[in-house]
Amino acid sequence: MASSAPDEAAVLEVDDRQIRITSPDKVFFPGIGATKLDLAEFYLSIRDPFLRANGGRPSMMERYPDGASGKSFFQKRVPDHAPDWLQTAVVSTPNGTESNALVLADVSHVLWAVNLGCLGFHPWPSLSVTPQITNELRIDLDPQPGVTFDMVREAAFEVNSFLSECNMRAFIKTTGSRGLHIYIRLEPKYDSFVVRSAAVALAREMERRRPDLVTAQWWKEQRGTRVFIDFNQNAPHKTVFAAWAVRPRVGGQVSTPFSWDELATIDPEQLTIPVVVDRFRVSGDPWSDMVDQPQTLDPLLAFHRADQEAGLGDAPWPPVYPKMPGEPPRVAPSRAKKPTKDATTT
């Protein structure tokens, strides 16, 4: 329940805590007229599936203090004035910088972040209690310029068909924008380097199967009008936009889990705050049994070993990471130095 007076904070009674939402009537999503308080109440409405997908994970916050049409910034560190009950976890960046990040421990933590103007949660693929274990493989289908959503949809069908051949069960969601994310919950025994290797192998195999539609090429100049499988979203310390989280778009689109049966007809633009609340009330959580079916990466790691044995080295890493063993030169092919012809060669 929320209580407020004009121009005063709304107070939400949640799990024996009182969460204040200041400026509750501030419009955060002008395309649908949704306010800051509407956003808080949205997360209360979908608290169970949100926490099933993201609970216990550290999260970076994407803050828009004036709503989706205003200025924004990313915040990894929890501010010093945070309440005593707020759970945090130490996370680090590729260069070793550490910070205390918000843990999505319960819906009170989510609402605390909403009050700061958080319109985007970016959780780690590991739990705060086991940071060394990555328990999700996240397949990011990233449309390049000129790629239609129908092409992204087709790529998702192809990926799921391949994973089915590997006896791996995957779950899908919209990104809240133009792409799709495919998740596989993993047995708790892999680190992020192994998970990234599996993602690289999957991307390369998909490119071999559908080179007209899918690319595993890191350099933009080589991708063409294809769907890029961004394997580096599984690199250490990388985060992905959270399932069930509202995207910082004026229309209030939600990164929405859905069933594979819906893939042929799903329209991400229509999945806004009120629509997603109604969907959940009617159909429930399509990811409800994800946590009960952790998967092995063995099939994808077999493809990875086959690529290595065939002489295919590691894929490029993002520039913020240290140089990795077996990694090719970090320079776009068009900028690479061409070998010079030996003057004595005939």
CB 304 within 8 A of CB 201: yes
> CA 90 → CA 103, 110, 120, distances in Å?
10, 18, 20
pLDDT at 344 over 50: no
**DSSP-derived 3-state class of residue 206:** helix
**C-alpha closest to that of 188 among 50, 291, 301, 285:** 291
pTM for this entry? 0.93
- Tell me, what DSSP letter sits at residue 144? P
Contact 119, 38 (CB under 8 A): no
Q: How confident is the model at residue 65 (pLDDT cuts 50, 70, 90)?
A: very high
Are 37 and 50 contacting, i.e. CB atoms less than 8 angstroms apart?
no
Q: How far apart are CA 44 and CA 48, in angstroms?
A: 9
Tens-place pLDDT, residues 99-112 = 999 999 999 999 99
Instruction: For residues 179-195, give the mean pLDDT.
Output: 98
Interval 9-49: pLDDT, tens: 999 999 899 999 999 999 999 999 999 999 999 999 999 99
CA atoms within 13 A on the CB side of 282: 7
- The mean pLDDT value of the chain amounts to 93
d(CA 331, CA 334): 8
Instruction: Tell me the average pLDDT across 295-301.
Output: 98
Percent of all residues in the chain with a pLDDT value above 70, rounded to a whole number: 95
Determine the Cα–Cα distance for residues 107 and 272; give it in Å rounded to an integer. 20
> Lowest-pLDDT range, 156-160, 172-176, 321-325?
321-325
Is residue 94 pLDDT above 90, yes or no?
no
Buried b (16+ CB within 10 A) or exposed e, 239-254: bbbbbbbbbbbbbbbb
Question: In the chain, what's the furthest Cα-to-Cα distance?
Answer: 88
CA pair distance 79, 343, nearest whole angstrom: 63
Q: What pLDDT is stored for residue 225 in this prediction?
A: 98
CA distance 48 to 243: 12
Task: Count CB atoms within 10 A of the CB of residue 176.
Answer: 27
pLDDT for the residue 137: 98
Is 6 a residue whose pLDDT tops 50? no
User: What span, in angstroms and rounded, lies between the C-alpha atoms of 291 and 53?
Assistant: 8
The average pLDDT across 177-205 equals: 98
Q: Is the pLDDT of residue 346 over 60?
A: no
Instruction: Please give the structure tokens belonging to residue 36.
Output: 């800051």
pLDDT tens digits, 314-343: 999 999 898 888 889 888 888 876 655 554
E strand residue ranges, the chain: 2-3, 10-14, 17-21, 27-29, 34-35, 58-63, 73-75, 88-92, 98-103, 118-123, 136-143, 171-174, 180-185, 214-215, 227-229, 257-258
128-143 per-position pLDDT tens digit: 999 999 999 999 999 9
If you average pLDDT over residues 183-211, what whole number do you get?
98
Q: What is the arithmetic mean of pLDDT over 58-79?
A: 94
pLDDT score, position 334? 86
Q: Could you give the CA distance from residue 304 to residue 189 in angstroms, rounded to a whole number?
A: 18
